[in-house]
Structure 1
Amino acid sequence: MMRADFYLIAKPRFAGQPLLLVCELCRKANDAGLATLVLARDSAQAEELDDLLWSFNPDAFIPHQIAGSDEDEEEALVLIAAPGQQAGLRPLVINLRDAAWMEPCDRVLEVVPDDPAAREPLRERWRQYKAAGYTLNKYDM
């Protein structure tokens, strides 16, 4: 059964920098040994996340890289893909893009910014996942 988990940003720490929440989600996935695909909105966001994953927590080492940058990318537990970048399917997908992720995976995580304008498209996405038979969960972060 496929799952879609929506993470609603509320805490100031994440509101100012939503990618910090993405780093925390990547850390949890890494600790659980889950191969994760992060769908970045654009290449600038992919680069920012790549840098942040090195620095956000001095005690956390998360093997990660940007798709297409290296032949060994299958070894990185966290793979960051900008649009147009080929990346293999993985069991966990963190979707930062504007469209719902309907490709096969076990779980898709949607990060919902603390911005009313950004929430409406995500309500629509919730309906899309629901219509596709996903199990839905919502978490306040």
Structure 2
Amino acid sequence: MSRADFYLIAKPRFLGQPLLLVCELAKKAYAANQPTLILARDMAQAEELDDLLWAFDPDEYLPHQIVGADEDEDETPVLIAAPETDASSRPLVINLRDDVWLKPCDRILEVVPADPAAREPLRERWKQYKALGFELNKHDM
């Protein structure tokens, strides 16, 4: 059974820069040897994440790239996909888009913004995942 984990942003560190939480989640996945796909909202967000992942941990390089940038992407532990690229699914998917990810995977991580107005689409996604039989978890970050 697949799992969907919703990460609710509350800590000051992530409030101003929610993508830092995405970097943190990607780092944990890399440490656990889980190939990860990050679904960016658009190319600008994909590029911002690319830059953040370069600088995220000065002591440890987190291997990552934007889908379509290089042939070796199958071996790259963390892939960032803009909507216009066709990314194949991976065991772990971090979803920053408004749509439910329906391709096969073991776990989907959803980052929930602190802004209550922005949470409504995520309530819908919670219901959709539940209807699809996902095991659901909520984490305050």
Q: TM-score range by the shorter chain?
A: over 0.9
Structure 2 gaps, min length 5: none
| Cα deviation 1:94-126 (Å, max 9, x = unaligned) | 000011112110000000010011111101110
Q: Indicate the RMSD between aligned Cα atoms, in angstroms.
A: 0.6
- TM-score by length of structure 2 reads 0.98
Amino acid at match of 1:110: E
Alignment of 1:29-108 (within 5 A): 29-108=29-108
TM-score by length of 1: 0.98
| 1:32-71 deviation digits (Å, cap 9, x = unpaired) | 0100000000000000000000102212311000000000
Look up the match of 1:127.
127
| Paired-residue identity, % | 74
Residue ranges of structure 1 left out of the alignment (5+ in a row): none
Runs of 4+ in 1 over 2 A off after TM superposition: none
Aligned residues: 141
Decide which moves more: 131-140 or 97-106. 97-106
Q: In structure 1, what is the Cα distance between the partners aligned to 2:60 and 2:16?
A: 21
Answer yes or no: is the 8 Å Cα contact 1:27–1:60 preserved in 2. Answer: no
Distance 2:25 2:95 in 1: 11
Deviations 1:77-107 (A, max 9, x none): 0000000201121000000001111211000
Question: In 2, distance between residues paired with 1:92 and 1:68?
Answer: 19
Q: Which residue of 1 aligns with 2:116?
A: 116
CA distance in 1, matches of 2:127, 2:109: 15
SS state at 1:7 partner: strand
> 2:100 is matched by which residue type in structure 1?
A
Give 1:73's aligned amino acid.
E
Kept in 2, the 8 Å contact 1:66–1:81? The answer is yes
1:26 aligned partner: 26
Question: Which one-letter code corresponds to 2:114 in the other structure?
Answer: D
Establish whether residue 15 from structure 1 lines up as the match of residue 46 from structure 2. no
* Alpha-carbon distance in 2 for matches of 1:33, 1:94: 15
CA distance in 1, matches of 2:60, 2:115: 29
